[in-house]
Chains A and B, each alone.
Chain A
């Protein structure tokens, strides 16, 4: 092995090329920058990402607050209006939609072929997927902060430090939901199947969770549904965000979210593995 460090910028004709930490960092930066630029150029996406939770907050919550009394449950120390209860769930919803949007664009990219640009980078595939994941999390976290800012108009105000402590929760929840999206994107064959994702993933995950109603209420009405809610990773993403917004940590939620993050990510990497993955078995279009 030669002693000189081979800079990939000037590819030599022979000898192995070793990738350094600098290569990895530049790649991550480039993938995040691209996601950000795309986000900026798609203003409609940002707009709808904000309008969606605001419809729930401004219309659904206003109507629902009189039919559902929320008792005092942690992390709240007093009776809270329904709007206050529902905001963490809507924040998680913003992240879920962003994750599914990223997954959708990955399926699109794959069908259109531009995914190959990413996958033919010399960096390992698991790293490329992780970079992609982090890039989408950056966008989703910013969307949530924009939503939280507008929620102030509905008098939904967390203590000021809550807006800091919620950040790690949003990153974790965003990564878990993003990894779920990545996994889906590796298994979905075609774009048109994405409507199915709405029906079979987004809606059940959202409604069978603690986003819209506290789970003790669900338990009272239907024990089986309660079990499902408890098993739903989205529930734990919501609770992680809810506690963090008030400066508290729900360790059980954090543990579940991290667990699902690892499982989803490992499966997604396998899905994209050229030797084993579904992408490989599927066969090409000539």
Chain B
């Protein structure tokens, strides 16, 4: 692996359908509502292998709903979600096997040790024992948590728990990594570590990453950004592209402008 062409990371073009490699994540015309409340309306975008994509939106923009649909916590009723070509509703096993997820809420089992948590996840993906043990060593080393392997996760700090969750999400070697507000509650150092680590994964392994956040300063100057507001996509492109389109000097200004103008006026 790792031989993914990254030429389009800065300016993602629409992926040609005829290409043999499907986009890591392809969402077309996705809408969702809870009763009469519309959470997502006609959302479409793609994430390619090697893309680091920031899904930027305020709290309540629909990010968590989008993640719940992509991970098939809820089924979507309209639109399409494909993970490397596998539709989540038609072939959930293939789609879920290729994605790693870091949930917004902490999801480690605090009564279990770090390695027990990782083993549990590996078992849920059906990994053989030997593979599991090798990956535990490898993934914990990558997030610099090898020495905490046998500690109960309850004893870890918030930032350390997040690192274990990233290690866990990568245990089954997914090709698409979804993170939902992964830095909430972390200090500056913890946030930096996480951001750099995930960007490195993206760069070195060609991992496709969708990073949802409401924190604009997590958007790097070279990132690709999707702005989600009130269930709608208001902008999709690289930071320079969005700035150019909005005529703003910074992504923060562009975001403010988009959100102001993007209010549904009808």
State whether B126 touches A26 (Cβ < 8 A).
yes
Known contacts A30-B122, A283-B37; is-contact A22 B111 (Cβ 8 Å): no
Is A42 part of the binding interface, using a Cβ–Cβ cutoff of 8 Å?
Answer: yes
Number of A-B contacts (CB under 8 A): 161
State whether A114 touches B35 (Cβ < 8 A). Answer: no
Binary per-residue interface labels of chain B (97-110) against chain A in the complex, 1 for a CB within 8 Å, 0 otherwise: 11101011111110
- A159 close to B (CB within 8 Å): no
Interface size class for chain A? 35 or more
Which A residue's beta carbon lies closest to that of B171?
A: A9
Q: Does A116 contact B (CB under 8 A)?
A: yes
When distances are taken between beta carbons in the complex, the residues of chain A under 8 Å from B162 are none
Which of A9, A27, A41 interacts with B124 by CB under 8 Å?
A27
Q: A112-B105, A286-B64 are in contact. Are A8 and B126 (CB under 8 A)?
A: yes
Enumerate chain A residues within 8 angstroms of B172, measured Cβ to Cβ.
8-9, 11
The reply to whether B96 and A286 form a contact with Cβ atoms under 8 Å apart is no
Q: How long is the Cα–Cα vector from A117 to B89 in the complex, in angstroms?
A: 18
Proximity bits, B67-93, A CB within 8 Å = 1, else 0: 010011111000000001110010111
8 Å CB contact of B21 from A8, A13, A27: A13
Q: How far is the CB of A258 from chain B (nearest CB, A)?
A: 28
B127: contacting residue among A26, A31, A275, CB under 8 A: A26
Judge if A156 is at the interface, Cβ distance under 8 Å.
no
- Distance, CA A17 to CA B127, complexed state (A): 13
- A23 CB contact (under 8 Å) in B103, B109, B126: B126
Other CB < 8 Å A-B pairs besides A17-B94, A113-B107, A114-B106, 5 of them?
Answer: A30-B124, A113-B105, A116-B107, A117-B107, A273-B75
Closest 9 CB pairs of A and B: A30-B123, A23-B126, A113-B105, A283-B34, A275-B75, A121-B124, A114-B107, A274-B75, A122-B96
Residues of B within 8 A of A (CB): 1, 20-22, 34-35, 37, 39, 49, 59-65, 68, 71-75, 84-86, 89, 91-99, 101, 103-109, 111-112, 116, 119-129, 131, 172-175
